[in-house]
Structure 1
Amino acid sequence: MSLSRPAIRLVCLDMAGTTVEDGGTVLAAFHRALDAIGLAEGTAEHAAAVTFALDTMGQSKIEVFRALTGGDQDRAALGNRAFEAAYDEASAAEGAREIPGAADAIERMRSAGRHVVLTTGFSPVTRDRIIRTLGWGSLVSLALSPADAGRGRPHPDMLLTALLRTGTDSVHRLAAAGDTTSDLLAAHRAGARIAAAVRTGTHTDTDFATVPHTHILDSITSLPALLDSLDPTS
């Protein structure tokens, strides 16, 4: 007698690059922040920092700046403030936009009885401003930043916090999706049944191949059908 695997009941989705269009805004904000902490554009140090920022996309922004400043808390905080101010300025000018079909995908998963939680490396203030701009207040019942969970990606803390907050009874009922290797590592370390990469953000299939994952999707719009196909039928 075979036993069906438990149905997915919790879906954790990254924001920038996964459910929210980036359009280069995150990287542009990093350039501004690097200048603020004394890493001037055109220098070797600036170029190395940009490479590091690309490699660590999806991680807690304050932790990225701590690494770039050698643990200097004051400079890291300055860089993080400059980053968020630049990102907020760009978002206000251009308007935050969803990845096409993201809201519909979230609604489809919720209608199927799944909890949907947004996770991000942004601070709660920036995260909530994006959600308000998108008009997703009634669509998203829970959104988490590293400050809400302990550590940011690639640690599993935000995913496990979502599990606890939603009362989901097993990591085998957890699916997570994101556009970076940090998203996938966090999902793997949390023991998620699904760790899905999406091609709408910063990292590529070549990057995804370097970390554990279960699926690669063209966009988040493919996730509801994937989860429906994997759920037990009886």
Structure 2
Amino acid sequence: MAGTTVADDGLVERAFSRAAATLGVEPGGDAHASMLAYVRATMGESKITVFRSLFGDEQRAQRANAEFERAYGELVAAGEVAPLPGARETIERLRSEGRKVVLTTGFARVTQDAILAALGWRDLADLTLCPSDAGRGRPYPDMVLTALLRTRTDSVRQIAVVGDTAYDMICGRRAGAGVVAGVLTGAHDDAALRAAGATHVLGSVAELPYTLGSPGGVPTAGSGGS
């Protein structure tokens, strides 16, 4: 979602900085800079997995994750989240063509729901998924395969995975999706997306319908991001 269909505008980094500060990692120091670089590099991965890598023990990771979700929720509640241009229209067009659309995220369900509510998107897609709904988050293929099962899609080759991060591309490739498209509206650039296995790189998600072509080829479109 964030970076693919939703304009994040640095909210992940701001929420991380708030969370890290509660664990004694203040902005401006070497430790904070190193951790922030890791957060940027792993955009798209399940957030609790990121915090486990950064803070080591489970208790600190869970505390950091809870603080991150709280801080991000406050930013969303303050109106600092918006749809990317053409995102809503793209989802509506895909569904009108008979395709199933699933919105996935690396955030926890509470944060995903807050974003959906803030944008008025609760009923926009056929299904929304977060890591806890599927078992594991990106780069594992669990959310894509859960989307296939729940939408009753016939084959993984009929799935299009779309996202702004290398982790989205790896996830799509591991799931066997027929289209794995990167978009340049979020965390990672053209080179990073292609290196991670993108079959297409688009300027934005608004180009997706033209990439898929006429309905019947790829009926399910999954949109990722943070």
Q: Would the TM-score normalized by the shorter structure come out above 0.5?
A: yes
Q: Which residue of 1 aligns with 2:54?
A: 68
| Paired residues of 1:95 and 1:133 also in contact (CA < 8 A) | no
Is 2:44 the counterpart of 1:58? yes
Q: What secondary structure sits across from 1:80 in the alignment?
A: helix
TM-aligned CA deviation for residue 43 of structure 1: 2.2
Report the residue type matching 1:176 in the other structure: V
Match of 1:206 in 2: 191
How many Å separate the matches in 2 of 1:230 and 1:53? 37
Is residue 26 of structure 2 the alignment partner of residue 45 of structure 1?
Answer: no
Give the one of 132, 136, 140 matched to 1:151: 136
Aligned: 1:133 with 2:121: no
Matches within 5 A, 1:15-54: 15-54=1-40
After superposition, the CA RMSD in angstroms is: 1.3
Partners of 2:92 and 2:38 lie apart in 1 by 35
2:98/2:215 contact within 8 Å kept: no
Structure 2 counterpart of 1:9: none
What residue number does 1:11 align with? none
Compute the displacement of 1:91 (Å): 1.3
Alpha-carbon distance in 2 for matches of 1:199, 1:160: 24
Aligned positions, number:
217
Deviation at 1:93, TM superposition (A): 1.3
Contact 1:197 1:208 in 2 (8 A): yes
Partner SS for 2:4: coil
Identity rate, percent: 51
Residue of structure 1 equivalent to 2:224 = none
Residue in 2 that maps onto 1:166: 151
State the match for 1:190 in structure 2. 175
Q: Matched residues in 1 for 2:25 and 2:80: separation?
A: 28
In 1, distance between residues paired with 2:27 and 2:120? 36
Give yes or no for contact 1:199–1:217 (8 Å, CA) kept in 2: yes
The letter for the 2-side match of 1:137 is R
Unaligned runs of 5+ in 2: 218-226
Question: Match of 1:5?
Answer: none
In the alignment, is the contact (CA less than 8 A) between 2:79 and 2:118 conserved in 1?
no
**Which whole-Å deviations, capped at 9, do the CAs of 1:142-176 have from their partners, x for residues lacking one?**
10000001110011100000001111111000001
Q: Which runs of 5+ in 1 are unaligned?
A: 1-14
Q: Comparing 185-194 with 26-35, which one deviates more in the overlay?
A: 26-35
